[in-house]
Amino acid sequence: MGRAFGFLTLIAVVAVGAYIYMRQTQGVMSAGTGNPTVTVDLIGVRNDLLAIAQAERSHAAAQGSYVSINALRSQGDLTMTRDNRGPYNYSAELGDSSFRIVATYGGPESSGMPKTISIDQTMQVSQQ
Residue 105 gets which letter from DSSP?
Answer: E
Number of domains in the chain: 2
Does one domain contain both 45 and 26?
A: no
Phi, psi of 29 (to 5 degrees): -65, -35
Does one domain contain both 18 and 71?
A: no
Question: Do 41 and 86 contact (CB within 8 A), yes or no?
Answer: yes
Phi, psi of 80 (to 5 degrees): -65, 125
Domain range for 79 is 36-127
List the chain pLDDT tens, one digit each, 128 residues. 778 888 888 898 898 888 887 777 665 545 545 677 777 888 899 999 999 999 999 999 999 999 999 999 999 999 999 999 989 999 999 998 999 999 999 988 877 788 999 999 999 999 88
Task: Supply the pLDDT for residue 29.
Answer: 47
Does one domain contain both 26 and 42?
A: no
Task: Supply the pLDDT for residue 77.
Answer: 92
pTM above 0.75, yes or no: no
